[in-house]
Chain A
Amino acid sequence: MSINSAAFLLFLAVSTAAYYAVPRKYRYLVLLAASAYFYISYSLQAAGYLLVTICMTYGCGLLLGRSHRKEKEMLSAVEADRKSVKQRFRHTRRILLAIVLTANFSTLALFKYLDAWLEGMSGLLTRLESTVAFRPLELLLPMGISFYIFQTSGYLIDVYRGRQQPERNFLKYALFAGYFPQMIQGPINRYDKLHPQLTRGNEFNADNLKYGIQLMIWGMLKKVFLADPLADAVAEIYSNYTAYPGASVFLGAALYCVQLYCDFSGGTDLVRGASRLFGVEMEENFRRPYLAHSVDEFWRRWHISLGEWMKDYLFYPLALSGPLSRVGKASRKRFGSYFGKLTVPCISTVVVFLVVGIWQGPGLSNIAYGLWNGGLMSAAMLCQRPIGTIKKRLNLSEEKRWFRGFQIARTCFLVIIGRYFSRSDSLYDALRMLWRTVRCFGQGGLGVNVLIGFGLSGSDWAKLLIAGAVLLAVSLLRERNIDIRAALERRHWLLQFVLLFAAVLLLVVCVYLNSDYTAIMYVYENV
Chain B
Amino acid sequence: MEELMHILTENCPDIDFETETALIDDGILTSLDLVMLVSELNDVYDIEITADDLLPENFNSAQAMLALICRLREQ
Interface positions of A (Cβ within 8 A of B): 83, 161-163, 311-312, 315-317, 319-320, 325, 328-329, 341-342, 344-345, 348, 381
Contacts and interface: CB of A to CB of B under 8 A. Distances in A.
A345 B52 contact: no
Contacts of A328: 39
A315 B50 contact: no
B42 A161 contact: no
B75 A341 contact: no
Contact of B35 (A162, A163, A329, A345): A345
A344 B35 contact: yes
B35 A320 contact: yes
B52 A161 contact: yes
Which 5 A-B pairs rank lowest in CB-CB distance, beginning with the nearest?
Answer: A317-B51, A316-B51, A319-B35, A161-B52, A341-B36
A469 B36 CA distance: 42
Contacts of B49: 320
Nearest to B52: A161
A316 B43 contact: no
B1 interface: no
A345 B42 contact: no
Contacts of B39: 319-320, 325, 328, 341, 344
Interface centre among A312, A315, A320, A344 (most CB of B within 10 A): A320
A329 B49 CA distance: 15
Interface residues of B, number: 17
A144 B35 CA distance: 32
Contact of A348 (B35, B40, B42, B55): B35
Interface centre among B39, B50, B55 (most CB of A within 10 A): B39
Nearest to B11: A341
20 contacts: A162-B52, A163-B55, A311-B31, A312-B54, A316-B34, A316-B35, A316-B54, A317-B51, A320-B39, A320-B49, A320-B50, A320-B51, A320-B54, A325-B39, A341-B36, A341-B39, A344-B39, A345-B32, A345-B35, A381-B32
Nearest to B55: A163
Contacts of B4: none
Interface string B18-38: 000000000000011011101
Contacts of B35: 315-316, 319-320, 344-345, 348
A342 B11 CA distance: 12
A194 B31 CA distance: 24
A387 to B, nearest CB: 15
A105 B66 CA distance: 37
A316 B54 CA distance: 8
A319 B38 CA distance: 10
Nearest to A311: B31
B43 A320 contact: no
Nearest to A349: B32
B71 to A, nearest CB: 14
A162 B55 CA distance: 11
Given A320-B51, A345-B32, 12 more contacts: A83-B75, A312-B51, A315-B31, A316-B34, A320-B35, A320-B38, A320-B54, A329-B43, A341-B39, A341-B40, A348-B35, A381-B32
Contacts of A342: 36
Contacts of B43: 329
Nearest to B50: A320
A317 B31 CA distance: 12
A328 B38 CA distance: 11
Interface centre among A311, A328, A342 (most CB of B within 10 A): A328
A316 B42 CA distance: 14
A136 B47 CA distance: 51
A315 B34 CA distance: 11
Nearest to A341: B36
Contacts of B51: 312, 316-317, 320
Contacts of B55: 163
Nearest to B42: A325
A520 to B, nearest CB: 36
A344 B42 CA distance: 14
